[in-house]
Amino acid sequence: MRFLSVLKGDIRFQFRYGFYFIYALFTLLYVLILQLVGEQLQARVAVLTIYIIGTRKNCHIFHKNRRFRPLEA
């Protein structure tokens, strides 16, 4: 019973602070971007977008204090 009340409170918190709205907005933008690119590029853009979003913590773009180091050949 305690789990259900915590879950209910968590869902209320997410609605109150707009988590679901932002998630829906990003999903809509993602779908629109996939619709704008050609059919040949859709699979590549989808994979690239998921890869970039999934690894944003490791990406140098999101860290101001980390210097960019080029890939070593």
Residue 59 has pLDDT above 80, yes or no: no
Whole-number Cα distances in Å, 44 to 8, 28, 35, 41, 73: 38, 18, 13, 5, 24
What is the rounded CA–CA span in Å between residue 11 and residue 19? 9
What is the rounded CA–CA span in Å between residue 28 and residue 5? 31
Quick: pLDDT tens for 3-46. Answer: 999 999 999 999 999 889 998 998 898 888 888 888 888 888 88
DSSP state of 33: H
Q: 0.75 exceeded by the pTM?
A: no
Residues 56, 41, 46, 24, CA torsion sign: positive
